[in-house]
Structure 1
Amino acid sequence: MTAGGYTGRALVVDVSATSATGSALELPEPVLRAYLGGVGLGTWLLHRLAPARVDPLAPEAPLVFVFSPLVGTPLTTSAKFAVLAKSPLTGLLTDALASSQFAIAGKLTGHDAIVVRGRAAELSVLLVDADGVRLEPAPELAGMSAAAAEAAAKERFGRGWRTAAIGPAGERGVRYATISHDGRHAGRGGLGAVLGAKNIKAVLVRAGTKVEVADPVAVLAAAKDLRQRSFGPATAKYRELGTLANLLAFNAVSTLPTRNFTAATFAEAPKLAAEELHEMRGVARNSCASCSIGCEHIYSRKGGGSQRMEYENVFALGPLCGVSDPDDVFAASARCDELGIDTISAGGTIAWAMECVERGLIDAPWLTFGDGAALLRALDLIGSREPGLGELLALGSRAAAEVVGHGSIDFAPQVKGLELPGYEPRSLQSMALGLAVNARGADHNRSGAYEADLSGDLDRLSGGPAHVAAAIGTEDRAAVMDSMILCKFLRGVFSEPFEEWAALLRPVTGWDVTADELRATARRIVLAKREFNAREGASAADDALPRRMLDTPLQLGSGRTATLTAERLAAMVAGYYQGRGLDTDGRPAPVDRADLLL
């Protein structure tokens, strides 16, 4: 008998045939308990289904949509799903999380995961429900935005279907293309390019079954309690101003990356701040599916319309590129959504290119810091993969720097090929370690070590053993939240997270899961990611930061500086390896590999 909250099987779909074929892959209960769902289970599936050293854009490379035991329950923020693949941007494992009704409908097709392999003969959509799978040609969707494709799919197939689609950038293989649904995005690492390489414009799912929980009464009681706590002070910032509230706070403590990480403060930050925009342009507040927090803040755009804005897209398309006009930043964010590209990688790659232009390494004199029109023009070139500059920037900053040469890799803002988020490593040194060692690359959601830096409990300008412990702790907590799946904005609600997460899982699954078991689960998931990357060629040399971040002092104002030396980062990485039980090349020991159930 399958545990509550699970179906016990994944659907593996091959879209190469004229009519897609689907087969069931049984998911043994020990595997489900070891990896939970979401990112954890998706990592296990990639180990099993992705051929070693496969080209991420090859037909045989799998793309995995994964649900979780909590999806479909009344627990707040649980309507989330994960998408995983080998990244065309990094060549390593990538995962992205998103919230929408797609998660609930996808699970209620009767599967804990849907795996897509092969390549369709023509641009098509894949439909999955409780009755099976089918492939429908859809050449009329070519070149559409994800939102337009979703609307067209609803018109053609009916409103009972939920859609995850790619924009034109995904069709054209931009290495940081996204997968979108309900206006939200599985954004990082080029998952949209992987789906586009399969000639699939959209995946549609329709609910048609039920998934029972072990103790419905206890689950309902837990849901009521969690919902009540979600209205408390731990989530107030997200309700009142959203993540954009971080902009002025980070600027004040010199950790707002500006002009391709040459500075950590932006004099014109107030023009882009949530406080200013909320007063002048605030339109509405919205929530993800099954969420009681309501962090989404929507602002009016010049000339009509509105745009959802978050800290990361404002940072990447604003200060990082030196752009201060909110209309330009809003327009750039909207353009990224229309094209279907990740805002962080787009902004980071364009900021790198702007510096290359300054240095005379790229011949595009129009592409300068602070020019909003140039930013929009660059985005259009990327989305169309225009020969020349567009084709170059569509590769991402690391691969583009390898083409340009002349030491431009030293200031390409990436780790393992993934562009850095809006956190300056030199002034947040727990986060510096988290960014360097994360399996996904430069990521703030799988390693939220900035929390420790900003807590005041340690010296954020001088990394050491306490910073290593903080990075490991936040990475472990993220691994469980991303696999159960729960929104990270709930993290402050839990005073004893592993205990409380176990208490949520017990009535759903019927397992006697404990806090210590979940701690072991977290470690297993982190190690399984590293083991996948090692299989794909990653080594200790990849656990690093761009040379610009090392030994180059960062001006903090009032004559103060922050420096992250290469020796200090190396010592923290070595401490991380020791804390994780890794060998000197950053790989799990044989005894740990056996525990991975791979």
Structure 2
Amino acid sequence: MTAGGYFGRALVVDVDGSTATGTALPLSDEVLRAYLGGVGLGTWLLHRLAPAGVDPLAPEAPLAFVFSPLVGTPLTTSAKFAVVAKSPLTGLLTDALASSRFAIAGKLTGHDAIVLRGRAAELSVVVVDGDGARLEPAPELAGLPAAEAETAVRERFGRGWSTAAIGPAGEAGVRYATVSHDGRHAGRGGLGAVLGAKNVKAVLVRAATRAEVADPAAVLAAAKDLRERSFGPATSKYRELGTLANLLAFNAVSTLPTRNFTAATFDGAHRLAAEELHELRGVARNSCASCSIGCEHIYSRKGGGSQRMEYENVFALGPMCGVSDPDDVFAASARCDELGLDTISAGGTVAWAMECAERGLLGIADVAPWLRFGDGAALLRALDLIGRREPGLGELLALGSRAAAHVVGQGSIDFAPQVKGLELPGYEPRTLQAMALGLAVNSRGADHNRSGAYEADLSGEHDRLDGGAAHVAAAVGTEDRAAVMDSMILCKFLRGVFTEPFDEWAALLAPVTGWDVDAAELRAVARRIVAAKRAFNAREGATAADDTLPARMLQTPLELASGRTATLTADRLATMVAGYYAARGLDATGRPGPDAAADLLLDG
């Protein structure tokens, strides 16, 4: 008997020419309990369904929409899903989380995951409901932004469907294209390009059943308690100002990456700060589906319209590119939404190109002498070239900063802002050295959501400029907690609500599933998920040499306003990486050992 909250099967949809065939893949209770759902279950599915060494954009490369046992329950922030595939940007495992009605409708098709393989003969949509899967041609959607494609799909198929779609960048194969839905994005790693390579513009899902829980009364009681706690001080920052509240705080402690990590403070930060924009531009606050926090802040745009702004898109398209005019940053963020571009990778890649142009490096300066830090018009021009994958600069920057640096050469890889090919988020590693380790070892690449080690750096409990054993423990701990939250799935903004997180997560999971799960079991689940990610990457060619940071971070100290110098040497990072391997039970190459491999259930 399948546990509560699950259906015990994934739907594997094979697209071939003009048809789509859905086949049920049974998921045992042992596997579900070992990986939970979301990112964890998606990792297991990629091990099973992705051929070793597969090109991420090949027809046989799978892309999985993965749900969780909590989806469809009244637990706040649980309407989330994971998209998991091999990344065309990194060549490694990637996953992205998103919140929307798509999560609920997708699960209630009667599946714990929907996996796509193959390629359509023409631009099409995949339709999944209680009757299975089918393919519908949709050439009229070509070139549309994802939001417009969603509108067109609703007009054609009716309002009962939820849709995940790609924009022009996904169709063009930009390696950091997103999958979008309800105005939100599964953003990192190029998942939109994977869907575009299948000639699939959108996936439509419609609820056809319900997911039973083991103890409905206990689930309702837990949901009421969690909702009440979600209104407390741990989430007040997100309700009042949103994630953009981090901008001035990070600037004050010299951890706001500026002009491609050549500085850690930005003179124009106040113009982009939530505090100022809230007063001058704030028009609304919104929530994701099934969320009581309401972190989404909407601002008015010059010339009309509005735009949702978060810390990461403001950082990447503002300070990272030296742009301080909020109208330029708002316009660039809107352009990324329309094209379907990950704002972090887009901003990081353009910032790298700006530095190349200012240095006069051939391959950039000769074709884009106009590309300069601080020029908002140049930023918008570059984004348009990338989204259309225009020959020349657009084609080059569509590869991402690592691959583009290998084309340009001339030492430009040393300042390409990436780890394993994924562009760095808005955290300066030299002034946040637990985070530096988290960024270096993370399986997805430079990532702030799968490794929240900056929490330890900013807690005041450790010297954030002097990484050591305490920072290793912090990086491992935050990575473990993220692995469970991303697999149950719950929003990270709830993390401060839990004082004993593994115990409290077990208490949420038990009445849904009927399992006698406890904190010790969830800690083992976390370790298993992290190990399974690393095992997949090792299978695809990743080595210990990939667990590092750009040369700029390891060779160029930062002089801080406090009078201290932030220095992160290669030796210090290597020592922390070795400590991380030891704490994880990995061998010297960073791979899980034989005992861990046996625990991964990859053959079950």
Give the shorter-chain TM-score range: over 0.9
* One-letter identity of the residue aligned with 1:501: W
Q: Which residue of 1 aligns with 2:541?
A: 537
Task: Tell whether 2:309 aligns with 1:305.
Answer: no
Written as runs of structure 1 = structure 2, the 5 A alignment for 1:502-581 is: 502-581=506-585
Q: Which residue of 2 aligns with 1:84?
A: 84
Q: Which residue of 2 aligns with 1:204?
A: 204
Q: Which residue of 2 aligns with 1:340?
A: 340
* One-letter identity of the residue aligned with 1:230: S
3-state SS, counterpart of residue 133 of structure 1: strand
* One-letter identity of the residue aligned with 2:258: T
Q: Which residue of 2 aligns with 1:72?
A: 72
Written as runs of structure 1 = structure 2, the 5 A alignment for 1:27-426 is: 27-361=27-361, 362=364, 363=366, 364-426=368-430
* One-letter identity of the residue aligned with 1:247: L
Distance 1:15 1:142 in 2: 18
Distance 1:564 1:271 in 2: 30
* One-letter identity of the residue aligned with 2:43: T
Distance 1:564 1:397 in 2: 22
3-state SS, counterpart of residue 560 of structure 2: strand
Written as runs of structure 1 = structure 2, the 5 A alignment for 1:17-32 is: 17-32=17-32
Change (3 A) 1:282 1:65: same
Distance 2:462 2:562 in 1: 22
* One-letter identity of the residue aligned with 2:129: D
**Structure 1 residues not aligned, in runs of 5+:** none
3-state SS, counterpart of residue 94 of structure 1: strand
Task: Tell whether 2:458 aligns with 1:454.
Answer: yes
* One-letter identity of the residue aligned with 2:201: K
Task: Tell whether 2:592 aligns with 1:588.
Answer: yes
TM-aligned CA deviation for residue 304 of structure 1: 0.1
Distance 2:19 2:546 in 1: 41
Distance 1:30 1:17 in 2: 36
Q: Over aligned residue pairs, what C-alpha RMSD do you find?
A: 0.5
Distance 2:173 2:335 in 1: 17
Q: Which residue of 1 aligns with 2:8?
A: 8
3-state SS, counterpart of residue 64 of structure 1: strand
TM-aligned CA deviation for residue 244 of structure 1: 0.1
* One-letter identity of the residue aligned with 2:424: L
Q: Which residue of 2 aligns with 1:485?
A: 489
Cα pair 2:19 2:120 within 8 Å, conserved: no
* One-letter identity of the residue aligned with 1:541: A
TM-aligned CA deviation for residue 17 of structure 1: 3.9
- The size of the alignment, in residue pairs, is 598
Q: Which residue of 1 aligns with 2:498?
A: 494
Q: Percent identity?
A: 87
Q: Which residue of 1 aligns with 2:434?
A: 430
TM-aligned CA deviation for residue 131 of structure 1: 1.1
Q: 1:388-417: per-residue Cα shift (whole Å, max 9, x none)? A: 000000000000000000010000000000
Distance 2:268 2:89 in 1: 32
Distance 2:158 2:538 in 1: 44
Cα pair 2:168 2:339 within 8 Å, conserved: yes
* One-letter identity of the residue aligned with 1:87: S
> TM-score by structure 1 length?
1.00
3-state SS, counterpart of residue 201 of structure 2: strand
> TM-score by structure 2 length?
0.99
TM-aligned CA deviation for residue 19 of structure 1: 2.0
TM-aligned CA deviation for residue 216 of structure 1: 0.2
TM-aligned CA deviation for residue 557 of structure 1: 1.4
3-state SS, counterpart of residue 89 of structure 1: coil
Distance 1:4 1:268 in 2: 52
Distance 1:18 1:559 in 2: 65
3-state SS, counterpart of residue 30 of structure 2: helix
TM-aligned CA deviation for residue 365 of structure 1: 1.0
Q: 1:122-178: per-residue Cα shift (whole Å, max 9, x none)? A: 000000001111110000000000000000000000000000000000000000000
Distance 2:279 2:331 in 1: 19
* One-letter identity of the residue aligned with 1:129: D
* One-letter identity of the residue aligned with 1:543: D
Distance 2:48 2:386 in 1: 34
3-state SS, counterpart of residue 324 of structure 1: coil
TM-aligned CA deviation for residue 272 of structure 1: 0.1
TM-aligned CA deviation for residue 16 of structure 1: 1.1
3-state SS, counterpart of residue 84 of structure 1: strand
Distance 1:18 1:25 in 2: 22
* One-letter identity of the residue aligned with 2:583: G
Distance 2:559 2:58 in 1: 45
Cα pair 2:16 2:120 within 8 Å, conserved: yes
TM-aligned CA deviation for residue 560 of structure 1: 2.4
Q: 1:95-121: per-residue Cα shift (whole Å, max 9, x none)? A: 000000000000000000000000000
* One-letter identity of the residue aligned with 2:301: R
Distance 1:203 1:261 in 2: 38
Structure 1 runs (4+) greater than 3 angstroms displaced: none
3-state SS, counterpart of residue 12 of structure 1: strand
* One-letter identity of the residue aligned with 1:327: D
TM-aligned CA deviation for residue 551 of structure 1: 2.8
| Range 346-355 or range 547-556, more displaced | 547-556
Cα pair 2:213 2:511 within 8 Å, conserved: yes
TM-aligned CA deviation for residue 556 of structure 1: 1.1
Distance 1:596 1:208 in 2: 32
**Structure 2 residues not aligned, in runs of 5+:** none
TM-aligned CA deviation for residue 558 of structure 1: 4.3
Distance 1:548 1:205 in 2: 45
